[in-house]
Structure formats: C-alpha cells, structure tokens
Chains A and B, each alone.
Chain A
C-alpha cells in the first residue's frame, strides 16, 4: 500500500488508472442500481460478452486494414449497442425467447471476437486484457471517451429517473399513464451497454457483471430507495476499484481481478452480517 501511494505521486499511468476507476464508478453505481432493481443482470452479461466481437473486429481493421483511427473501444461501443437493441426488441416482443437470444448473442459475440483476434497478427495479450481488463493500459484518449460516456449515462439516468423507476417497477401501469415504455426500456438497455463498455476498460468483460451488480446489491441491503442505492453503490464501487488497484500494485496482481475479489468479499460479509444481526428477518 505504501509503495502504491509513493508510486502514485510519480506515475501518470497509475494516476490515470485511478481516475478511470473513479469515473467509471459513477456510471456503474447509477446503471448498476437499475440493473439490480429490474433484475436484468443476465442481459448485462450478454451485452458485456458481445463486446468482444466488436473489439476483435475493430482491432483487426486497425492492424490489418490500417484503419488507424479505429480503436477496439469504438468496436465495443457499437457491438454493445447492437446487442442491447436486439435483446430489448426480443424481450419486448417475444418474451419467452429472451433467454435463448441472450445466450446466442453472448456466445456468438465472443466467437466472432476470437475469430478476428486469431486472424490479427500480434500476441494474445490483447485478448487477455479485453477479457480480464488492464486498467494500467488506459490511455489518455480512452480516459476522455470513458468520461464522455460516463457523463452521458449519468445525465440520462438522473434526468429520466422517475420514468425509469416506473417502467422498471410496473411497466403496464406506466404505459397506461402515457409513458412510452418501449422507448425507455430500450434507452435503459443502451445505457447498460455504454456502462458495460466503460467498465470493460476497468475490469474486462468477463468481470463486468460483478462490478455492475455487486455494489448495488450491497447498497440494497442497507437503503430502501433506488436513488439511495445509486449513491451508496457509487461509493462502494469507487472504494473497490481504488482498493483493487492499490492492493494489487506491490504484489503485481491483476487489478481487475483484485477489484472483483474485493466486491465479492464485501457482498459476502454484508449478507453474513445481516443474517447474524437480524436473525428473524428474511434476508433478501
């Protein structure tokens, strides 16, 4: 830990990594709370894995076709948004096929990604950083992009808070009150997609679901309202990403995995404490 703080003063790489984690935590807390409340973490998982296809194609075009302006993160954004629209459309129109479609996108997106990565010269280390994240590789451009997406997602999440709350809790009633339920549901999934991309840069796509859901789930144990969940989840997420980075630095562990291990441990401790402290109440 002391080494980490010493290095933080010197290293801009480390400063950028810390900043990326803190910025990403804001979107993570806001959107993660919607995901937990509406119980759509499986959808978030499908979108997350789909991003590998986008990143693989973008990297291929960048390296092989010489599209130097195209970064893997751009591919991830496009793939995540396409996945969100397809899943959203299917879940609105043909409810019973939803899980099948999510599974197909989940695995299909990864397969496309792996195929393109195999056809792209270079080592597989990029693949590892997509899957499990490498926050130390976050460039200044990435940071700007992440910050931009963050502002967009958080602004939408707060601006339409009442509508999202109503659509998540009781879509049929919201529709009767004149709320355009389909629009807001698709918008919410698009925000999930952008948040997933933001978080992929921090912890990689395999670990995204944990960072998206665990802080909100922990928060939900303590506070009863959605906006309170969001605030607490943001703080927990900031603590987890910063803590993960700090703890992993000296022993040279992967920061993403350390972050998720911290989240998982915190969730476990929360549930156990709640059980012990209030044995008569049903734990949710």
Chain B
C-alpha cells in the first residue's frame, strides 16, 4: 500500500435512486490515517455516500477509488461497522463468533475457522478492550460493548467505516468510544458517519458535509477554552478550505 496515495478518492460522483440526484458531483480525497466525520442532515445523503464507498451502490456518474480499486472490488478489504440497532439483539452468538465473521473474506469455501483466524479475532477484541469477553453471549453485553464488538469485527479491514457508532449510547460511553477510535486512528484510516455534530471539533480531523452536494473541511487546532466556549455549536468550528461556507449542517 502506497502511503502517499489517498485511501479513498471520489471524482465527480453523482447518484440518484429515481430521477432526483441524492449525491451531486461529489469530489474529495481521504488521506491515509485521516479521521473523517461524514455529517449532514437526515435525508441529506450520508447513508447513500457510505453505500457508494462500500460498493453496495454504484455511481451513476463519476468514479470512486479505494486503495486503488473500485469499491465493489475493494469491499472485502474495507472494515464496515453498521448500526447495532439494525441487528437482532437476541441472536444466539458469542462475542468471538461475531468478530470471526470479519474473517470470512479470508476463509475460502467451507468448514471451520482456522486457528490463525481465531488469533486475529482475539487480537481485534484485545484492541477494543474486550479480550476477556470473547466467550460471553452477545445478548448479555451493554450497548457500548456491542458497538466495540462490531468495531473489532470491522478491524479485519481498512479503512474503517462506521455508521452512527454512538447512536443510542450514553454521553460518557460515547466519549469512551471516540477515545477508542482515536487510539485506533494512530494505525488506520477512520470514516465516521454521524448526525451528531457535537464531536466534529473534538475528534475529527476532516469533516465531509453531505447535503446533496458534498463539501470537505478540515477542523482546525483548538484550545480547551474554545471547546468549552463553543461546545454544542461546534459546526462553527469547521474551517472552510473551499469557498463554500461551513453551513451545510446547521
């Protein structure tokens, strides 16, 4: 992997489900080991943008490149974390069972997982601080722990794309989760989709605002005082790189 190449580039990508465009000429690049927040109003196209990144949807116009491949070819190498609220909370699996699902792309054909896969899964659990929970039933875990399990499962790939990782979590648990992501970010590229703009200035280095049109900003250096002053109005902290004003998320 060439570190100088961007991890992901969108080149004039447009997408429409019917006639009306949901994503209009999105052009941006995400650098290696960047920490990116994808924000914007509900219905603005955040989910569509993620589905384009994952290759679940194909662009009507333009091109997407992830690690040198089209998304539908690269998707096996991407680490994706869906919202855990979309999954059955009573499903009969252990924590390790779930994390092992991340190894499916590496296992060919049928049969049980190899010791190599189990070791990789345990290492991923260790990285999110849940090594001692491997054998526990998933249904006994708290919401925050379940999110960490899904992050561990996604760690089989890179870049890490997370869909609303803090939805339905207590504020303290949300902070823990973002601290965790910041730790992981030392090693891998992270893209977080969030409708919660409260984290924009605190954690993200780059912000992608999606509201049909797509604009990229870098978050500036911030002092504690500034954060304290402006907590809750972080959108103002988005420093615009382009002529576009940082108002898409208001």
* Alpha-carbon gap, A50 to B185, bound state (A): 54
* Alpha-carbon gap, A173 to B54, bound state (A): 10
A178 within 8 A of B: yes
Complex interface residues of chain B between 124 and 169 (CB less than 8 A to chain A): 136-140, 153, 156
| From A160, A176, A228, contact of B75 by CB (8 A) | A176
Taking the closest CB of chain B, its distance from the CB of A30, in whole angstroms, is: 13
Chain B, residue nearest A228 (CB): B92
A9 within 8 A of B: no
Chain A, residue nearest B107 (CB): A162
| From A37, A161, A162, contact of B91 by CB (8 A) | A37
Pairs across A and B, CB under 8 Å, 30 listed: A33-B92, A39-B88, A162-B110, A162-B113, A163-B110, A168-B91, A169-B87, A169-B88, A169-B91, A169-B93, A170-B82, A170-B101, A172-B82, A173-B82, A174-B101, A176-B55, A176-B80, A177-B104, A178-B75, A178-B76, A223-B92, A225-B92, A225-B97, A225-B137, A226-B92, A226-B93, A226-B97, A228-B92, A229-B92, A284-B139
Residues of A at the B interface (CB closer than 8 Å) are 33, 37, 39, 159-163, 165-166, 168-170, 172-179, 220, 223-226, 228-229, 284
* Alpha-carbon gap, A160 to B107, bound state (A): 12
Given contacts A162-B104, A179-B104, contact A173 B91 (CB under 8 A): no
The proximity string for B residues 64-86 relative to A, scoring 1 for CB distances below 8 Å and 0 otherwise, is 00000000000110101010000
Taking the closest CB of chain B, its distance from the CB of A70, in whole angstroms, is: 34
> A168: which B residues are within 8 A, CB to CB?
91
> A160: which B residues are within 8 A, CB to CB?
110
Chain B, residue nearest A281 (CB): B140
Chain B, residue nearest A179 (CB): B104
Contact B92 A166 (CB under 8 A): no
* Alpha-carbon gap, A176 to B81, bound state (A): 11
Given contacts A37-B91, A176-B80, contact A169 B113 (CB under 8 A): no
Chain A, residue nearest B153 (CB): A173
The proximity string for B residues 232-249 relative to A, scoring 1 for CB distances below 8 Å and 0 otherwise, is 000000000000000000
B227 within 8 A of A: no
Given contacts A162-B104, A178-B76, contact A169 B137 (CB under 8 A): no
B94 within 8 A of A: yes
Contact B111 A170 (CB under 8 A): no
Contact B92 A37 (CB under 8 A): yes
Contact A166 B87 (CB under 8 A): no
> A169: which B residues are within 8 A, CB to CB?
87-88, 91, 93, 98, 101
> B90: which A residues are within 8 A, CB to CB?
284
| From B55, B91, B105, contact of A177 by CB (8 A) | B105
* Alpha-carbon gap, A174 to B87, bound state (A): 13
| From A37, A163, A229, contact of B104 by CB (8 A) | A163
> B104: which A residues are within 8 A, CB to CB?
162-163, 166, 174, 177-179
B171 within 8 A of A: no
Taking the closest CB of chain A, its distance from the CB of B51, in whole angstroms, is: 10
> A163: which B residues are within 8 A, CB to CB?
104, 110
Taking the closest CB of chain A, its distance from the CB of B189, in whole angstroms, is: 17
Contact B101 A173 (CB under 8 A): yes
Q: Which 8 A-B pairs have the closest CB atoms?
A: A224-B137, A177-B104, A177-B105, A166-B101, A178-B76, A178-B105, A159-B110, A226-B92
Taking the closest CB of chain B, its distance from the CB of A5, in whole angstroms, is: 36
